[in-house]
């Protein structure tokens, strides 16, 4: 079994969602060594209360290149989004910085496998992430042929990924590797950044800053898919361990409960995207995480309280 870490890139505006994520991890997860939490330097004091023997708060500057520096919030007169400046690229915004931090966090992790958890994820069942992620092969989630050539975001991101990796021929519909609670292998991530340098002639972080419109999950997934050697070290599966709400529709408590009921026995996590503006208090109340008990929510099916176990994933 390989060692497994958890990694989250977060920031101040997501701190309530991160609080719920960290509480759910402490309640339900086992089988990992550390939870690395990467945040903007000025946000470190806000997140220090979450630190523990197993949770490490890491300032972004530890992993970001020296040529990239954050514009102080007091000087951001125009953009409502956080801005990073560089003499080597145009300004970079916070969403891109979080993607860069995820890659850098995996590259610098002592552990071989890293499960990446965004702040709007939540666990609701007992889950041994070491059993799931630490085996001989790394699980690689995919939604086959899900990206159409005219997809407004994913097709654009994928074309950028092709430029970063030097992929010449792209056919659509293409596979989608975006998901939640995804697992990366550290050596594969290092090979991926090496491929970016080989294709662009640039340091991987600089190449990403210059391109901007990309997805870290599409980048990793399509790198693996394009390399027979790395694909052989991954177990491709169409079964996600998370049930997800991807659009911007605000969910009320009955809708959250319906998502919970719809989860398969193997799904252990929930993701309700933060841009849906769903109340964190509603999510917390539905899953009863603030009660401190480990009983399954009473509104869930009978199997919600069971420990999730995993067989070999269904492969393509």
CATH value at residue 148: 3.90.550.10
Q: Is 308 part of any domain? A: no
Least confident span in 243-247, 249-253, 261-265, 275-279: 275-279
- Beta strand 35-39 with 29-30 is unpaired
The percentage of residues in the chain with a pLDDT greater than 90, rounded to a whole number, is: 69
User: Is the pLDDT confidence value at 309 over 80?
Assistant: no
CA 46 to chain centre: 21
> Average pLDDT of 266-287?
84
Residue 84: give the domain boundaries.
Answer: 4-290
Least confident span in 47-61, 218-232, 253-267: 253-267
The DSSP code for 150 is: T
Q: Is 302 part of any domain? A: no
Q: What is the pLDDT of residue 297?
A: 45
**Verdict on whether the full-model pTM lies above 0.85:** yes
Residue with tokens 């996600």: 240
Q: Is 310 part of any domain? A: no
Q: Is 154 part of any domain? A: yes
> Which of 19-33, 86-100, 292-306 is predicted most confidently?
19-33
> Average pLDDT of 77-96?
82
CA nearest to 177, candidates 238, 119, 227, 129: 238
Share the mean pLDDT of the chain.
88
Distance CA 42, CA 70 (A): 10
User: Is the pLDDT confidence value at 306 over 70?
Assistant: no
- Phi and psi dihedrals of 262, rounded to 5? -80, -10
Q: Is 296 part of any domain? A: no
Distance CA 216, CA 52 (A): 28
User: Is the pLDDT confidence value at 291 over 80?
Assistant: no
Residue 241: which pLDDT band, with cuts at 50, 70 and 90? very high
Please enumerate in sequence order all residues whose Cβ is within 8 A of that of 190, keeping only pairs 6 or more positions apart, or say none.
Answer: 107
Distance CA 45, CA 187 (A): 32
More confident of the two residues 240 and 261: 240
Distance CA 242, CA 181 (A): 7
Please enumerate in sequence order all residues whose Cβ is within 8 A of that of 312, keeping only pairs 6 or more positions apart, or say none.
Answer: 235
Residue 239: which pLDDT band, with cuts at 50, 70 and 90? very high
More confident of the two residues 133 and 315: 133
Residue with tokens 């145009």: 90
Q: What is the pLDDT of residue 78?
A: 58
Q: Is 129 part of any domain? A: yes
Q: Which helix (H) or strand (E) holds 116?
A: strand 113-116
- Per-residue pLDDT tens digits for 142-197: 999 999 999 989 999 999 999 999 999 899 999 999 999 999 999 999 999 999 99
Tally of domains within the chain = 1
> Average pLDDT of 18-28?
95
Q: Is 65 part of any domain? A: yes
Q: Is 313 part of any domain? A: no
Q: What is the pLDDT of residue 303?
A: 40
- Per-residue pLDDT tens digits for 25-68: 999 999 999 999 999 999 999 999 999 999 999 999 999 999 99
């Amino acid at each position: 079994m390989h060692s497994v870490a958890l990694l989250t890139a977060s920031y101040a505006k997501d701190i309530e969602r991160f609080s719920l994520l960290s509480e759910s991890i402490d309640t339900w997860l086992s089988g990992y060594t550390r939870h690395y939490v990467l945040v903007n330097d000025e946000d470190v004091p806000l997140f220090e209360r979450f630190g523990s023997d197993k949770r490490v708060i890491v300032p972004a500057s530890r992993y970001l290149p020296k040529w990239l520096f954050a514009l102080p919030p007091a000087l951001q007169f125009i953009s409502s989004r956080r801005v990073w400046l560089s003499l080597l690229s145009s300004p970079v915004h916070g969403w891109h910085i979080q993607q860069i931090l995820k890659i850098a966090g995996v590259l610098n992790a002592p552990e071989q496998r890293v499960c990446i958890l965004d702040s709007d994820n939540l666990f609701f069942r007992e889950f041994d992430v070491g059993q799931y992620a630490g085996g001989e092969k790394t699980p690689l989630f995919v939604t086959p042929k899900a990206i159409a050539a005219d997809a407004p975001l994913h097709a654009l991101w994928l074309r950028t990924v092709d430029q970063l990796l030097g992929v010449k021929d792209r056919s659509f519909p293409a596979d989608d590797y975006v998901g939640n609670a995804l697992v990366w292998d550290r050596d594969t991530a290092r090979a991926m950044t090496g491929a970016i340098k080989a294709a662009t002639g640039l340091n991987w972080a600089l190449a990403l800053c210059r391109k901007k419109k990309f997805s870290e999950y599409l980048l990793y997934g399509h790198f693996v898919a394009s390399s027979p050697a790395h694909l052989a070290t991954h177990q491709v599966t169409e079964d996600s361990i998370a049930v997800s709400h991807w659009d911007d529709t605000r969910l009320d408590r009955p809708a959250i409960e319906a998502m919970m009921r719809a989860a398969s026995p193997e799904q252990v996590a929930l993701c309700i995207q933060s841009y849906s503006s769903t109340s964190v208090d509603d999510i917390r109340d539905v899953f009863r995480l603030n009660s401190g008990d480990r009983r399954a929510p009473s509104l869930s099916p009978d199997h919600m309280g069971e420990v999730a176990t995993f067989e070999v994933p269904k492969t393509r």
